[in-house]
Structure 1
Amino acid sequence: MSDELAQSEARHRGRSLKRHSALRLLLASTVTITLVIGLGAVFFYRHLNENITFLDITDQVGADRPERVAPGKPINVLIMGSDSRAGDQGMKQLENGGARSDTTILMHLSSDRKFAYGVSLPRDAVIERPTCKTDEGTVPAESGAMFNTAFYYGGVACTVKTVESLTGVRIDHWVVVNFNGFKDMVDAIGGVNVCVPHAIDDDQYKMHLKAGNQKIKGQAALDYVRVRHGFGDGSDIGRMKRQQSFIASMAAQVVSAGTLTRVDRLVKFLDAATRSLALDTGVGNILSLAKLGQEFQSIGLDNIQFITVPWEWYEPDPNRIVWNQKLSDRLWKKMRNDEPLSRRLSADAVSAAATKAGKKATDDPSPTSSPSSSPSAQTSEEAAAEAAAEAEANGLCA
């Protein structure tokens, strides 16, 4: 890892920051986009379409790509969260690197449109990064690289190529959500409901939240999903679960009557959301994006599952992880063959509609190399106490 990236990592660790989960926000955005277009708002449609950044990375990805295995039309979408800049500078970062992406989800939509699942790819996983091409030259392959270096050094194309190289899964579409506009999205819908297990009064990070259920927006909302210090045990896992809970609550509010019947809120949210999107040129326009969103919506949120790629601790560095090779190979084979998740792979899955605001978003598995206790060995009281303790550790209400 270069000094430049190491310094960048150190700065971000010092601020205790992490970017946000993107998928539920994308689903909510496409649902509302569809509704607005359905109202015949042609002028507004053009405005929203001009907000979105479209980028062709065909040459950078190259021809050496996985074949499509499954018959029919399954769709695999790579979703990335980024802090890239706006305008021409942001476009250069998407093409050539220089921005950070701490959130990556590989989504699979079945050819029969009966199921879908998203697999989170942790940024700190140690991987084999392939050689990548950018407009400015070649990014050499690296053994033992952190997963998020692909985006930092080679932008979207290198991330797509890295994921395809590691999984053997062909990426059909990609989406980058720029979370610099996150506050605008939250404010546009009047804030988001959360539940904080205990009062937060942290002058260092300027975080002041009362205990219990409350609605937050603006900088407080951004800090809630980014700051690690002061919440629970201060871990990245806790922050990730808090982010998932927040995004689920936000998506629920976006599709609620309180937003859909308020044209002013709907317009502001869509404007902020589309200004934060970059898409592959294969999507084409906002109508195609809305159609893609409808494909997921037609499945039903209850039939969309989310898991984290099976992982284990990286022995040389306790701050890093690696994919569990045996289980992750099984996972990618199922995705390539357009098959649903097995019971084992989905044991800790959460559905897109399952999370309530402020509750635990998911019980992400502990490292797969560690044994887990059998559910039958626990009483209901013990299970409830364990869930409450984990929620508290993650900065959530039980």
Structure 2
Amino acid sequence: MNSNPMYMEYVDDADPDRPAPERRGWRILGWVSVGLSAVMVAGSLAAYGVYYKTVGNIAHEDVNANVGPNRPKKLNSAMNILLLGSDTRAGGNAKYGRSMKNEPPRSDTMILLHLSPGGGQAMGISFPRDLMVPIPACKTKNGSTAATSRGQINSSFTNGGASCVIKTIEGISNVKIDHFMQVDFNGFKAITNAVGGVDVCLTKDVNDRQSKLRLSRGRHTIKGETALAYVRVRHGLGDGSDTDRIKRQQKFMGSLANKAMSAGVLSNPNKLLSLLNATTKSLTTDEDLTPQVMMRIAQGMQGMTSGKLRFVTVPSGPDSLDPNRVMLRQPDASNFFSAVRNDKTVPSEPKAGATKVTPSQVKVRVYNASGIEGQASRVIAALEGQGFNASLGGNVTPTAATKVLYGPGADQQAAFLSKLIPTAPAPAARTNGAAAGVVDLAIGRDWTTLKSAKAGIPKQQGEIRATDNICKGS
């Protein structure tokens, strides 16, 4: 075995829970590269014109034809960028596992970077590599078509590259993906060196034989070879699970972004140019992510601070068919994706004298006019999940359109609820059967979803912010 800690062939091959052919190597290094790519490109290009010197490094791929026209509709002005880490051994990456040189590239790193409308905050949404999902039919590199299947989400990249991953994630989330960025691990050392090292915190001494990671307990600033070993190690830190490693890598990405955004890297043209060169040399994007689009994204995010950068993992739990894999946890996953689709800018403060309505102040009677059994109960659950006082009104004659009606004194509450229903017209006063202070919601066949009453995406279990104390919960 090569003693060089940069040699990647052996990493994770000894995992007893995995069949021998499924060799993951150092694909996980993409976590750091893709996260930094998005933050640096979006957060710094508006400040300097250096992108003209670095965009020539970026490779492009046309994925629109492969993704196809049947895409989710956008309900907001957010920007969603799929970040992928590839384990390709092409070019300079060949030294990171020579025996895998002829194997098809894979991606164990899939992060949906969600940039909220207005550019004030961003969220990195991680998809575990072992997440079992429906994988659509995708065109392969040789022109054939891989059949639909149920499999690990990372196999979608092997089947059809970035476009297949886009189709897969859009299919399970109904979130429109605007662009993608794909990074290999060759530039990782240069990135960590360019920011002057990344702060990490260990709860115990580590002396891992496989990864060559040797660090004492406590805080450290690591870069280069040591940083590589830190992000790759699985069995030497934590409980050895992929979930635990994802958490550690999210903390590393947050620490990396915080360092770059607050420690003079972005305000120093030489450091910035070095950082962007390191990042863009290993970057592939869709053809529509042009320098002009990057600049517009950057300009819209000029006010974002590292404290507004959040990292979460999609809600998941043990797969019902295989306890060694995971599946989306429902209804949590559907609620989370709905919040992403309906994310909006923080509303302005109400005008002086205006009454601010909250969900807890709205009493709603829900009537099923859709003809779909159980529809009213599902809508009641969604309303109660946001704090509304909802009750069942019963079944009524089916209609095409959803309607919001109100009784005496409930006009403002009705207006508040109506704004959360994309298909609802302006609310109207109910003439017969109205109840004082009560809003009546008749669900028609055009019902789609209930938008979030809150601004932005609610806090998720286990989420990490770039400004979190790196030793907290380590």
User: If the TM-score is normalised by the length of the shorter chain, which range does it land in?
Assistant: 0.7 to 0.9
Q: CA deviation at 1:55?
A: 1.4
Report the TM-score, using the length of structure 2 for normalisation: 0.64
Q: Distance in 2 between matches of 1:115 and 1:257?
A: 19
Separation (CA, whole Å) in 1 of partners of 2:230 and 2:70? 42
Cα distance in 2, alignment partners of residues 278 and 153 from structure 1 = 18
- Between 1:343-352 and 1:328-337, the stretch displaced more is 343-352
In the TM superposition, what is the alpha-carbon distance from 1:203 to its structure 2 partner?
3.1
| Secondary structure in structure 2 of the residue aligned to 1:179 | coil
Which has the larger displacement, 256-265 or 151-160? 256-265
d(CA) in 2 for partners of 1:354 and 1:89?
32
1:51 Cα deviation after fit: 0.4
Name 2:142's counterpart in structure 1: 136
1:327 to partner: Cα distance: 2.0
SS in 2 for 1:154: helix
| Distance (Å, rounded) in 2 between the aligned partners of 1:116 and 1:250 | 15
Is structure 2 residue 188 aligned with structure 1 residue 75?
no
Paired residues in the alignment total 340
- Deviation, structure 1 residue 59: 1.1
1:250 to 250, 256, 263: 256
- Whole-Å separation in 1 of the counterparts to 2:304 and 2:145: 39
1:350 pairs with 439, 463, 472, which one? Answer: 463
| Ranges in structure 1 where 5+ consecutive residues have no aligned partner | 91-96, 361-390
> Which ranges of structure 2 fall in alignment gaps of 5 or more residues?
1-17, 95-102, 345-451
Q: Does 1:26 align with 2:26?
A: no
Q: Tell me the alpha carbon deviations over residues 169-197 of structure 1, each in whole angstroms, 9 at most, x when there is no partner.
A: 22111111222211111122332222222
TM-aligned CA deviation for residue 320 of structure 1: 0.3
2:165 equivalent to 1:159: yes
Q: How far has the Cα of 1:301 moved from its partner?
A: 4.0
Give the alignment partner of residue 52 of structure 1, picking from 31, 34, 58. 58
The answer on 1:205 being equivalent to 2:233 is no
| Compared CA separation, residues 330 and 260, structure 1 to 2 (3 A) | closer
AA aligned to 1:279 is: T
Partner of 1:329: 334
Maintained 8 Å contact 1:84/1:178 = yes
Deviations 1:3-42, CA, capped at 9 Å, x for gaps: xx96552x337x89664253355213432333331xxx5x
- Distance between the aligned counterparts of 1:347 and 1:47, measured in 2? 39
Which AA in structure 2 matches 1:359?
C
Pair 1:124-2:167 in alignment: no
Partner Cα distance (2:86, 2:234) in 1: 18
The change in CA–CA distance for 1:113 and 1:29 in structure 2 (over 3 A counts) is closer
Q: Secondary structure at the match of 1:156?
A: helix
Q: CA RMSD in A?
A: 3.1
Cα gap change, 1:347 to 1:254, in 2 (>3 Å)? closer
Given that 1:334 and 1:341 are in contact with CA atoms closer than 8 Å, whether structure 2 keeps it comes out as no
Distance 1:198 1:16 in 2: 26
- Percentage of pairs with the same residue: 36
The answer to whether the 8 Å contact 2:46/2:302 transfers is no
| Aligned equivalents of 1:189, 1:131: Cα separation in 2 | 41
Q: 1:299 deviation in Å? A: 4.5
Instruction: Give the match for residue 382 of structure 1.
Output: none
- Does the residue aligned with 1:128 lie in a helix, a strand or coil? strand
For the structure 1 residues 353 and 16, does the alpha-carbon distance in structure 2 shift closer, same or farther, using more than 3 Å as the test? closer
Instruction: Supply the distance in 1 between the matched residues of 2:318 and 2:302 (Cα, whole angstroms).
Output: 36
Give the whole-Å Cα distance in 2 for the aligned partners of 1:46 and 1:335: 33
Confirm whether residue 12 of structure 1 aligns to residue 24 of structure 2. Answer: yes
Q: Letter of the aligned partner of 2:83 in structure 1?
A: I
* 2:192–2:198 contact (8 Å) kept in structure 1: yes
Structure with higher RCO (Cα < 8 A, 6+ apart): 1
Q: Is the partner of 1:205 in helix, strand or coil?
A: coil
Residue by residue over 1:139-192, the C-alpha shift from the partner in whole angstroms, topping out at 9 and shown as x without a partner, is: 333433000000112100100111111122221111112222111111223322
Q: Computing the radius of gyration over CA atoms, which structure comes out larger, 1 or 2?
A: 2
The answer on whether the counterparts of 1:61 and 1:133 sit within 8 Å (CA) in structure 2 is no
Distance, in Å, in 2 between the alignment partners of 1:86 and 1:117 is 31
TM-score by length of 1: 0.75
Instruction: Judge which range, 232-241 or 144-153, deviates more.
Output: 232-241
3-state SS, counterpart of residue 237 of structure 2: coil
Mapped pair 1:150 → 2:190? no
Return the structure number with greater helix share.
1
The partner residue of 1:196 within 197, 202, 214 is: 202
1:281–1:19 distance in 2 versus 1, CA, 3 Å: closer
CA pair 88-20 structure 1, distance change in 2 beyond 3 A:
closer
Equivalent AA in structure 2 for residue 310 of structure 1: P
